[in-house]
Each structure stands twice: as structure tokens, then as C-alpha cells.
Amino acid sequence: MTRTLTGTPKADGFRMPAEWERQCNCWMVWPERPDNWRLGAKPAQEAFSRVARAICDHEPLTMVVSGGQYLNAREHLPAQVREVEMSTDDSWMRDTGPTFVINDAGELRGVDWRFNAWGGLEGGLYFPWDHDDLVARKVLEMEGVPMYRANFVLEGGSIDVDGQGTVLTTEECLLNHNRNPHLTKAEIEHNLCEYLGADKVIWLPRGVYLDETDGHVDNFARFAAPGVVMLTWTDDQNDPQWEISNEALAVLENATDARGRRLEVVKLHQPGPIHITADEAAGVDHIPGVQPRVEGERLAGSYVNSFIGNGVVVLPVFDDVHDEDAILTYKRLFPDREIVTVPGREILLGGGNVHCITQQEPSGSR
Amino acid sequence: MTRTLTGTPKADGFRMPAEWERQCNCWMVWPERPDNWRLGAKPAQEAFSRVARAICDHEPLTMVVSGGQYLNAREHLPAQVREVEMSTDDSWMRDTGPTFVINDAGELRGVDWRFNAWGGLEGGLYFPWDHDDLVARKVLEMEGVPMYRANFVLEGGSIDVDGQGTVLTTEECLLNHNRNPHLTKAEIEHNLCEYLGADKVIWLPRGVYLDETDGHVDNFARFAAPGVVMLTWTDDQNDPQWEISNEALAVLENATDARGRRLEVVKLHQPGPIHITADEAAGVDHIPGVQPRVEGERLAGSYVNSFIGNGVVVLPVFDDVHDEDAILTYKRLFPDREIVTVPGREILLGGGNVHCITQQEPSGSR
């Protein structure tokens, strides 16, 4: 077993780097479950492959694949992608993978959070989730990265960091009774700071409207740089998202980060709203206990849900009137990175987007 | 994908090191199939754990485990053993794993042979073997070791090398019509030399009596040092093994190795003969198409089937009158290594022994 550490990253001088810091690898999981991904996940596999291709031109990428899909995935992926076999329940590496932390000497460690499929038996998205709960641990053991095991339910998409002491999260998710109901808000803040090596938590009330993750912050508001936050927005006052986004804007405009800076908020107008078509819904297996995919259901589309890698940002677009503005905003925010767009609708149909299906491993030694 | 090389190791200046050369890791697979290992493989799991414990005191060890057995294996294995998930059909890493080769600069590469479960549909031991045929490739891809793909059916247990140009093998296995029937003996020799980086093949006619692998050489005759070969022996002229061992002795006494040396032959008297008891046979599932385990069947017990690691030899013993002599012989042959004995009967019941369930990775760079 990889070395299991007592204590916490913060106590040991470790912190979660910001996503724009140097990475040595990006982790993804190959999608396949036919009760979440339509048409036997074949369109999703193509969409994930597009994301992998965009990333692996810029940094190493490891694709986690089940035994049954090992050879098929190989046919779809570029030769330089490293494939490793692992059992999973679905394909959201942001939420099931480890959170990597480093110290000033560049040593690398990982946090293995508890995972309950976004809410366990009270509003979670599927049962069982035993394979997914082992993903972080298996990754760390395979790579020989020492591990902290946090006795705390958390998905990586529910937090965002600036790498300088500040954590962004939502009350809708982190205070949800289906995550860590035995802990107070203060105790949850303490855990976040200890395991992410942070000093301050900024709480937004809610995430994107109807986001099935219970409002993951990574689909709604994320740091683009220290002191700069991207926020999902709408100009339509009749859209339920309007109130949610304004509520968050007020919080952000009145907040300071861990270093005492005021925050610049950069609005990214949401696409759509996007709804599931009859055709799309018809391609998904219906299994009791698994989140259904129903015609007409509104999807939580967002341009915030991108991946920031070495020299690149991979941005989902939706063949939408707002695509162009999103691209321009990203170009302004990340002038030194290539902005590569990928079709985001197929990933969105499964419940998330580019950020949700990726997990960066910062450069460091073991 | 890990880099796939054209050409051959020999052409590129690579060779398979002898097992006594420095290693960076030992690979094993966790046993579980109940139609080969009695009582749900629980006694075998304990036996494999004993082997792993003996090795991991001396060098790193990686245990390949199925998703279903991942947590159970963890409970049985020492903390320093690295566990990685992989699908397999059975647990013979010697035969399904890669053959690692190095060059003078210490670079490491691997050979992925074709695998057909010791004979495919003509006398093979089980069907299907698709997972096992992918083990070598998955190991090399996980580790980032460049790979040669040999279009040649071979199990690692069917060859042995002195690391100085000589290969030892048996006609019973390598010339068997169920391995590479389209190739002549000369073509097979050529392949062995090209993929093992060798210059000379010494052919023994047969392996241990009733060995279900079709006479793997690693259960019968192996190099203990350059110019020194251990040979399974019997003094009982009425035992079918007597003729087989004498036949091999004659070949070895008349052979020279790749460097022109005569060979010293060190006899290791076989244990037993050992037969399957009614109790042992009763614990194995009976599945058509899988090698049956029948009461009274003679097992191919041998002291040659050991693992040579850094500073250690792991030697199977059988609570047999010949154990003591085997231990003394090994102490003489490997004066600088600790000789650690492990109970070999449980592994033998599955069709092999310590050498068959291990695969050394030589120290090298990638």
C-alpha cells in the first residue's frame, strides 16, 4: 500500500495548487455506463476522446478504463495517452479522483476523500458507488503517492482554490444533509482548510440551477487567477439562474480572499438554457435508482466548467449564441494559453462537463 | 500507449538479464479462480501471501489484483506491497507477464509475447484467456516501459537464460504443435535469440513428468549461475522422471553455453512423488474446458521452481524427506542470499510453483 499519512496536509505544510500551476499529468475515466450515457456511451466516448486529444497535446494524460473497454478505448485514443485498467461506477475523475497537494519542496501527496455518489441514498445519482470510492486510493497506490485519508464526504468539483489560501464552495452542496450532516459549518470549514492547505473559505449559497450535483462550485464559479473569479451568469431576469447568480455576485463583491484582496468577478453568460431532446433521452437505459434522463429536462450548462492545463484551456462550447463571448473572455483571462474548444453537449447530457471529467496532478516529487 | 517498438531486442542491443542480476520490482498476480484453486482460493491466497512477504522484505513487489479482490488482498498483504487492479484469467505472472530486457546503458524495455493458456484449444488449460493475454501489455503501459510485441506464443516459464547469451528450453513445450506450429525449430531458435538477446539455445527434450505446461523448463532445469544448471532429479529408476532427467543430463553434459563453457549440473532430487488428495480435489469447482483437479493425480513437484531476488531465494518445500538436501544445495549455490522456504504444496495444486507466480523486473531506466 502507498504510505498512509496521519495528520493533515496543512499541518504538514502541503496545499492544493491552483489549476493553472504546473502539472505533470491529467487523469480521466473512460465513460461506459449505458444508464447514464446514451447509445451505449459511444457518443460520450467520442466527446471524452476529444477532450483527451486537446489535453494530451500539452501534457501527459492517463485514461482509466475498465477491463471490458480497455481495447476499445485504445482504438479511440491518441498513442501518447497512457491507459490503465480500473473498475469504476462512472467517469467523473474530478469527483472520484484524489486531490493532489504539494509542499514548498515540491513533494507530492494525495487526499482520498469519502465518495457517496453525490448524496448517497438521499438524492445520490446511483447505487452502488463502491468502485468509485476506491478510485482515489487506487490511483495513489499505483503511482506511489503518499495518501491522506479524509473521513469526510467530498467531491473535487465541489471546491475550487486559488492556491494561495482561498477555497470557494457552495452551501447547497457542502452543507447538504446528504454529505456530512454530523458536522457543523465551522467544522466543515476547518476540514476544508486542513485538507486543502487553505486559510479561508468563501461560501456561495447555491450553484447552477438544477445542477444534479447539488450545486458544485466548479460548474458555477471558479478562480481564473488569484483575485479573479469566473461566474456563470444570465441577463434574463425571468430565468431562475438570475437570482442565483446575483446572490453569488453579492457575496463575491463583498468578500476578500485569504490574502485580503478584493475579488474581480468575470461574468460568463450561460448557454441555452439547454434541454434534453426526445432522441437523447431515448438512448439511455432506464434503471431504478439511477438518475433518469428525461425529455425536456433542463441541463446545467456552463462555460465555467473548463479544464486549465499546461499552456491550454479546454473549453466546452454548445453551438450557442454565447459561445463566442465565452471564448473571447477566456482568451482575455488566459492570454498565455491556447483556448481549445470541444463540443460540450454530450458530456453535459451525462451531468457535467470538461472540468468534471478531468483531474490534474501537479508537478512534484514523491 | 506505451511506445511500441519495431525491430527486436537483440537488434537494438537489449538482452534478458539473468534472474540473479539486480531487480527493481517483482510482479505477482493474486489467485482467485475457484475452478483451479480449492476452497475459493483462500489457501492459495495465503500461500501467495507467504511468497510476497518473503520477497518484499528484499525488494519492491507489485501485486496485480482483480477489482473484486482488491480490498481482500490488501488485508492479507504487507503494507509495503503495491497493489494494482487488473483483470486476469489466472495468476501465473511468469507466463503472462512481460519479459523485461535491458541494454548496457541500463535502459529497460519489455517483450509482450502471445499467450494461449499453455496450448490454446489443443490441450490448453482454460478458455478464454483474453485477459491473461493483455497482462504484459497492461503492465508495460502502466509503467511507461517501451514494448516489443512478439508475434510468437511463449510463456516466460518455458525459457531460462544465463544473461550471457544462453537460453535453456524444452522441445516438449517450444516445439509443441499447440504453440507455434507454423515455425520450424530453426525459426523458433531465431525468435528466442532475437527477443531474449541471446546467441545459443540449449534444447532439453522434455520437462518434469506430467507437467501440465507441456514441460516448462523453469520447473525442471534452470541456471543458478553462468555455467551452472540446477536439474530436477530422481534416484528411482522405476519412476518415469528417471529417464527424463537422465536424458536431460546427457544433453547438458555434452553442451557448451554461448561463451563456450561446459556446464556444471547440480541435481535437485524431486519431492514425493506428490499426489492430489480426495480432500484437495473436492474443494475445486469443476468446469468443462478447464484442467480438472482429480484425486490421485500426480503433481509436478520440483525444487527448481524457486524465485531468485535481491539478496534472497524463495524456495518451495513440501514437508518432504528431500527438503533438507534442497535447502543445503541452494545455500551452496547462493551463498550470498538468504534462502527463505515457503510451503509449496498449495501452489503446486494449482499447477506450478514459486517461479511460475513471480516475474522479476530488472533495475533500469525508462
Q: Do B1 and A70 count as a contact with CB atoms less than 8 A apart?
A: no
pLDDT digits (tens, 9 = 90+) for A231-263: 999 999 999 999 999 999 999 999 999 999 999
**Model pLDDT, residue B170:** 98
Q: Is A296 exposed, middle or buried (0-12, 13-18, 19+ CB in 10 A)?
A: exposed
Amino acid at position A315, single letter = L
The angle at the Cα of B299, spanning B270 to B233, to the nearest 5 degrees, equals: 20
The three grid cell numbers given for residue B10, joined into one nine-digit string: 537483440
DSSP helix/strand/coil, B141: helix
**Nearest 5°: phi and psi at B188?**
-65, -45
Q: Do A80 and B142 count as a contact with CB atoms less than 8 A apart?
A: no
CA closest to B2 among chain A residues: A82
CB-nearest to A82 from B70, B82, B144 is B144
Q: Do A86 and B71 count as a contact with CB atoms less than 8 A apart?
A: no
Residue A15 has pLDDT above 70, yes or no: yes
Is this structure's pTM higher than 0.90? yes
B356 is catalytic: yes
CA closest to A2 among chain B residues: B82
Rounded mean pLDDT, A314-338:
98
Q: Is A279 exposed, middle or buried (0-12, 13-18, 19+ CB in 10 A)?
A: exposed
Amino acid at position B208, single letter = V
Q: Is B109 exposed, middle or buried (0-12, 13-18, 19+ CB in 10 A)?
A: buried
**Nearest 5°: phi and psi at B357?**
-100, 5
Nearest-Cα distance to chain A for B68, in Å, is: 9
Nearest-Cα distance to chain B for A363, in Å, is: 17
The angle at the Cα of A167, spanning A166 to A168, to the nearest 5 degrees, equals: 125
Residue ranges of domains in chain A: 4-362
Active-site residue (options: B56, B173, B193, B356): B356
CATH superfamily, domain A4-362, is L-arginine/glycine Amidinotransferase; Chain A (3.75.10.10)
Residue A1 has pLDDT above 80, yes or no: no
Place of cell 431576469: A237
Compute the mean pLDDT over every residue in chain A, rounded to the nearest whole number: 97
**Model pLDDT, residue B366:** 65
pLDDT category of residue B364 using cuts at 50, 70 and 90: confident
**Model pLDDT, residue A365:** 75
The dihedral built from the CA positions of residue A169, A171, A177 and A178, taken in this order, carries a sign that is negative
pLDDT digits (tens, 9 = 90+) for B153-183: 999 999 999 999 999 999 999 999 999 999 9
CB-nearest to B138 from A77, A81, A85 is A85
Q: Do B142 and A82 count as a contact with CB atoms less than 8 A apart?
A: yes
Q: Do B141 and A84 count as a contact with CB atoms less than 8 A apart?
A: yes
Q: Read out DSSP for A32-60?
A: --TTTSTGGGHHHHHHHHHHHHHHHTTS-
Chain A residues within an 8 Å CB radius of B74:
1
**Model pLDDT, residue A339:** 98
How many angstroms separate the CA atoms of B297 and B70, rounded?
33
Q: Is B267 exposed, middle or buried (0-12, 13-18, 19+ CB in 10 A)?
A: middle
% chain A with pLDDT above 90: 98
% chain A with pLDDT above 70: 99
A–B CB contacts, 8 A cutoff, strictly below: 52
CB-nearest to B67 from A71, A82, A87 is A87
CA closest to A67 among chain B residues: B87
Q: Read out DSSP for B261-326?
A: -B-EEEEEEPP--EE--HHHHHTS---TTS----TTPEE---SS--EEETTEEEEEE-S-TTHHHH
Closest CA to A359 of A87, A101, A50: A101
Instruction: Please name the residues in contact with A279: beta carbons below 8 A apart, sequence gap of 6 or more.
Output: none
CA distances (Å), origin B100, targets A182, B104, B110, B196, B197: 52, 14, 4, 9, 11
Q: Do B2 and A81 count as a contact with CB atoms less than 8 A apart?
A: no
How many angstroms separate the CA atoms of A40 and A43, rounded?
8
Residue B365 has pLDDT above 80, yes or no: no
pLDDT digits (tens, 9 = 90+) for A128-177: 999 999 999 999 999 999 999 999 999 999 999 999 999 999 999 999 99
pLDDT category of residue A28 using cuts at 50, 70 and 90: very high
CA distances (Å), origin A223, targets A5, A27, A215, A262, A263: 29, 20, 16, 13, 10
